[in-house]
Each structure stands twice: as structure tokens, then as C-alpha cells.
Structure 1
Amino acid sequence: MMDYSYESEHTKFMRELLEKNPQLESKRLEARNIWWDKKLDKEEQKRFNESDEPMKPYVYFGG
């Protein structure tokens, strides 16, 4: 039988941090919205992929 009462030090730290600072959750969501939660524009993505120039071999040498 599994002992589900165990709590790691990291989990305990995070739980206590969020209890003491409830505003962190809204700040986390705000930061996530800046970088991750974006609507994907399929047409823009298509243009981006089509304009991608393949990498040349031996990019670190003059040529």
C-alpha cells in the first residue's frame, strides 16, 4: 500500500510560499500570458516557415 501522506521538501516549500504570497499565482499567469498563451496565426506561421532559409553546411567557416 502506498503512503500518500509523504510530502517532499520542494512541495512543502512551494505550498507554503503560495499560502504566504497569494498574489504569486496571478503574477505567474500574467507572465505565462506574455510568453506562452498566444493565438496561433496559421497564415503568419506558414509565411514564416516558407521564408526560412536552410542552414548552410560549415557555418563557422568563411565561404
Structure 2
Amino acid sequence: MAAPYESEFTLFLRDMKSRHPEWSEQQRAGRALLWEKNVDFDELRRFAEASVPPSPCRYDIRRT
């Protein structure tokens, strides 16, 4: 059976990751910094309560 197709880019990434194993840890650290956040549901609730509903007509001159 033939091996499944792998693009040149996939092969390149695998090669670079094998040459630079520290990249995996740096990638995890970057993800934790930007994406892995604890959600404060109380803050989300207060934000939703403080939001002003949009005007039904975007060009209404009586907007405040």
C-alpha cells in the first residue's frame, strides 16, 4: 500500500520541528499567553447589562 500524500509544506514543518524541538514549548507558551484565559462570568454579565441596544435605524439623527 502506498504512503498517504503529504505536502511539501507538511514535510518542511516536520523537518523544522525535529531540528528545533524547543519550538513546541514556545508554541504552547504563546498559546497560553494569548488564548488560555480564565472566563470571569460575573464580568461578562455586567458587560452585557451595561451594553446599550443599537438603534433600529443606523442613520437616525435622534441618536444619543
Q: TM-score, normalised by structure 2?
A: 0.71
Structure 1 counterpart of 2:19: 20
Identity level (%): 33
Rg larger in structure: 2
Matches within 5 A, 1:45-56: 45-56=44-55
TM superposition shift of 1:54 = 3.5
Aligned equivalent of 2:30: 31
Unaligned runs of 5+ in 2: none
CA distance in 2, matches of 1:48, 1:54: 12
CA displacement at 1:4 relative to structure 2: 4.1
Alignment length (residue pairs): 59
Partners in 1 of 2:30 and 2:19 — Cα distance? 20
Superposed CA RMSD: 2.2
Extract unaligned runs of 5+ from structure 1: none
